[in-house]
Amino acid sequence: MQEEPENCPGVGTENAGKASACAGCPNQRLCSDPNTKVEDPGKALVAQSMREVKQKLLVLSGKGGVGKSTVTTLLSRYLARVYSDRNFGVLDVDICGPSQPRLLGVEGENVHQSGSGWSPVGVDDNLCLMSIGFLLGSPDDAIIWRGPKKNGMIRQFLSEVDWGQLDLLILDTPPGTSDEHLSIVSYLRDDSAPNTLYALIVTTPQEVSLLDVRKEINFCKKQRIPILGVVENMSAFRCGHCGQTSEIFPAKTGGAAVMCAEMEVPYLGALPLDPQVTKACDTGEDITDIKNSTIEALANICQKIVMGLESA
C-alpha cells in the first residue's frame, strides 16, 4: 500500500475517494471504486500535452487582492523581453476572475482550435496566453460554477491546449488552497521529474496578508512544491510630485522579509505601489517600456527566479 500524502489521499491508497478532501472532486467515484484502482487518465493526457514544457511556475497567495495577476504579468513581460531566445506561456487559472487578457493587452482575441487542440493567444513572439476570458461572450459574463466543473476546465487547459515548446509556463492562480490548487498540483506534479514544478508566493506587507501567506507556504510544503521565494508587492508608494515615500500597507511585524526568515523560505524582494505600472496594466501596455525603480526591482527579482530555476 502506498503512503498516504496529506490532503489528497492519492489514487491507489486506502482512503482514495473516501477522505474529506475528496468531496467534490470529479474523480471521487473513480478513486473509491475498488475495481478501478488506476491513475486518473486525465494525468496521462496532461503529461502528453505538456511534454515539451520544461518548467512550470505557480504564482500563489493565500489572500486575494495582493497582486498575483499583476506580478504574473510583470514577470512574463520582463522574462520574454530579456530572454528573447526562450519561449514563455501564461495560463490564467483564475476561472471566476480572469484578468490576464486585459493585463497583457490581448482582450477580445479569439482562441482557435486545430487538430492538436486549442492554440494559445500570442502576446509577443515568445509569449503566449490561455484564459477562460477568451471563451466568454462578454467580459461582463460571470462564471457561476461549482468546484468539479472548474476542475474540469483546468484539466482541459492543461491537456487540450497546444502549448508547444515552452521553457517556462507561468500559472496565475486564484486565492486560497482549495479545489483549483489541488487539481493543478495533482496534474502537474511529477515525482519522477521533481525539478519541473515550482511556486512563487506574492504578499503585501501588512499582517492580515502575511497570515494567509503563511498558510500558502505550508500548503506548498505539504504538497512537496519547492518555493522559489516570496515577493512583497505594493511595499511602498513614492509620490511622483513631492518625492515622498509612504507606506500604504504598513508592515507592523517586519513584513515579508521577517516572515521568510521565520519560515525558512527565500525572500526575493519588494515591488512598490507604482501608478505607472497600474496604468500600463489597465491599458495592456508592455511595462518593460517603463524605466523607473519598479522595473529595476523587477529585474533583480527575475534574476533570482531564473537562477532558482536554472540551479534545479
- Residue 132: pLDDT over 70: yes
pLDDT above 70 (res 37): no
Residue 10 domain flag? no
Q: In CATH, what number is assigned to the domain containing residue 277?
A: 3.40.50.300
Report the number of distinct structural domains present in the chain: 1
**Contacts (Cβ under 8 Å, ≥6 apart) of 174:** 64, 93, 94, 95, 96, 97, 180, 181
Burial class (CB in 10 A: 0-12, 13-18, 19+), 114: exposed
Q: Looking only at Cα atoms, what is the longest distance across the chain?
A: 71
Establish if 98 belongs to a structural domain. yes
> 13 in a domain, yes or no?
no
pLDDT per position as a tens digit, 161-197: 999 999 999 999 999 888 889 889 999 988 777 779 9
Q: CA–CA separation, 43 vs 159, rounded Å?
A: 8
Q: Is residue 199 in a domain? A: yes
- Per-residue pLDDT averaged across 218-225, rounded? 92
Task: Flag whether 2 is in a domain.
Answer: no
Question: Containing domain of residue 110, as a range?
Answer: 41-310
Direct distance between the N- and C-terminal alpha carbons of the chain, in angstroms, rounded to an integer: 30
- Say whether pLDDT at 35 is over 70: no
Residue 8 domain flag: no
Specify whether the CB–CB gap between 46 and 188 falls below 8 A: yes
Confirm whether 225 is domain-assigned: yes
And the C-alpha cell for 134? 477568451
Q: How far is CA 146 from the centre of its chain?
A: 20
